Amino acid sequence: MTSPILRVIDTETTSLEGGVCEIASVDIVDGQICNPMSDFVKPPEPITIGAMALHHITNEDVASAPPIDEVIDRYLGADVYVAHNAKFDRSKLPQITAPWICTMKLARKLWPELESHGNQYLRYHLQVNANVPDGLHAHRALYDCYVTAANLIRINKEARFTVAQMRDITNRPSLLHAMPFGKHKGVPFEEWIRKDHRYVTWCLENLTDEEDVQFTIKHHLQPGG
């Protein structure tokens, strides 16, 4: 049976809410990273200064680039797509209708008590050699693809997940160990949730887009949670 093509994909954007200004991918085939691709994309709005400070892509870099609809076809056709925080990249690439795997959710499942589940944090915590080609740097799409792919290979050496298991973990809310932001950032949920009832109520009423936070709070509010 032919192994499925896992396509690790990443986007850089004009802002958190904005459009794509760079797309890249690498494939994982039989445990090997191959077929790197990357393109600048002309976004629907200017790149913000905050985004430039992160990925160092300027409006001049993408001024003559094609729109996403002219480059997306060459990224289609994989069996499964992989991203770190797949919810974000999936929202930017509605053209991709294949299943997704989220390496952040896999890492949260395996190592819930880590200080961070960020891509670079995992790379160094797990002592992963990402073998990133020269000339690339963090927060550029192709660089991040190499790191995500190497992290996924390392995760599966530890867990031996099947593709079906990884998809199932991706499609479920994550049970978080510590609050990821706000006044209790870094504090385990079980330490603050029974003491700060007002903040619990505020989170449940206002953080409706934070699926994992909502899920974790409700878990700890249950008897025996």
Q: What is the pLDDT of residues 93-145, one digit of tens each?
A: 999 999 999 999 999 999 999 989 999 999 999 999 888 888 888 889 999 99
| DSSP assignment letter at 113 | T
State residue 8's pLDDT score. 98
Q: What is the 3-state secondary structure (H, E, C) of 113-146?
A: CCCCCCHHHHHHHCCCCCCCCCCCCCCCHHHHHH
What number of CA atoms fall less than 13 Å from residue 162's CA on the CB side? 3
Region 55-60 average pLDDT: 96
| Residue of higher predicted confidence among 4 and 160 | 160
Gap between the Cα atoms of 23 and 37, Å rounded: 8
CB neighbourhood size of 94 (10 A): 8
- pLDDT above 70: residue 17: yes
Gap between the Cα atoms of 9 and 89, Å rounded: 8
Contacts of 218 (CB under 8 A, 6+ apart): 204
